[in-house]
Amino acid sequence: MAGQIDCYLDISSLYSFFTLVYLLQRRELLETHDVSVDFHPVFLGGINVGSGNKPPWNLPAKKDYGAFDGKRAKEYFGLTNIETPTFFPILTLLPQRALCYIKATFPDSTFVQAWLALFRANWIPPHANVSEPDAFRDVLRATKLFSDAEVDAIYAAAQEKQWKDALLDNTQKALDKGAFGAPWMWVRNAQGKEEPFFGSDRFHFMWQYLGLPWKDIELLPAQAKL
């Protein structure tokens, strides 16, 4: 069997953070099933505008529910040290454009490690506002993935039309595939059929669609030990 998962993420999305961590932990296992995973930076603000969706901070019911669901998700994904920064939400154009450049210029392992570092900086104390140039460069330097000259080149690239357009193109591709938020996954199975999956709690549906062996959530008897 064979398949492809294209995953569209933005560091402003907490559930994108969960999804990146979850899929990276299973990427090698998925490869044994001949399923590849590719990660694409998008601008969530553009997806919200383009789809007509409202972010949680503009919809009180979403915000109130998010307080409960976010806590549960942090515990489930083992990321209990996550806290919403005081500067949330940020305009993610700088880091997301830079990630487009990093993806095209450096090895995939460097790309995903840089993305994880930016996610952590945004969501795990002590927070860093990576929409600001100095903080952004400091986070990249701290990863030890890049030389000082490479950090400067990455920052400069994020100001260039080529990488501004690359982020716009990724965002439009996600919108063309029906995206209304992030994380957004576009999945092709072994039969060549394609479908979208939204959020960080639909992985079991993805495995089913891909024809992979998987175990469902099971409710245990009262006497069972947790």
Interval 33-43: pLDDT, tens: 999 999 999 99
The mean pLDDT value for 133-148 works out to: 98
Separation CA 36–CA 2 (nearest Å): 8
Q: Tell me, what's the pLDDT at 1?
A: 57
Choose, from 12, 13, 16, 200, the residue flagged as catalytic.
13
Q: Which CATH number does the domain housing residue 104 bear?
A: 3.40.30.10
Distance of CA 219 to the CA centre of its chain: 30
What is the DSSP code (8-state) at residue 124? S
Q: What is the mean pLDDT of residues 129-149?
A: 98
Given this model, what pLDDT does residue 130 score?
Answer: 98
Q: What is the pTM of this model?
A: 0.95
Residue 185 clears pLDDT 80, i.e. is over it:
yes
pLDDT of residue 56: 81
Q: For the chain, what is the mean pLDDT?
A: 96
Angle at 200 between CA 109 and CA 16, to 5 degrees: 50
Over residues 182-187, mean pLDDT: 98
Q: What is the DSSP letter of 36?
A: E
Rounded average pLDDT over 127-140: 98
Question: Does residue 63 sit within a domain?
Answer: yes
- Give the three-class secondary structure for 188: strand
Domain limits for position 65: 3-210
Mean per-residue pLDDT, 137-154: 98
Q: Is residue 179 scored above 60 in pLDDT?
A: yes
Total domain count, the chain: 1
Rounded percentage of the chain residues whose pLDDT exceeds 90:
89
What pLDDT, on the 0 to 100 scale, is given for residue 217?
A: 85
Rounded to an integer, the average pLDDT of 93-106 is 98
Residue 10 lies in a domain: yes
- What is the rounded CA–CA span in Å between residue 121 and residue 73? 19
118 domain residue, yes or no: yes
Residue 216 belongs to some domain of the structure: no
For residue 13, indicate whether it is catalytic.
yes
Give the pLDDT band of residue 223 (cuts 50, 70, 90): confident
Residue 225 lies in a domain: no
Whether the CB-CB separation of 163 and 101 falls below 8 Å is answered with yes
Structural domain includes residue 15: yes
On whether residue 222 sits in a domain, the answer given is no
Give domain status of residue 20, yes or no: yes
Closest CA to 103 of 35, 149, 162, 34: 162
Residue 161: exposed, middle, or buried by beta-carbon count in 10 A (0-12, 13-18, 19+)?
Answer: exposed
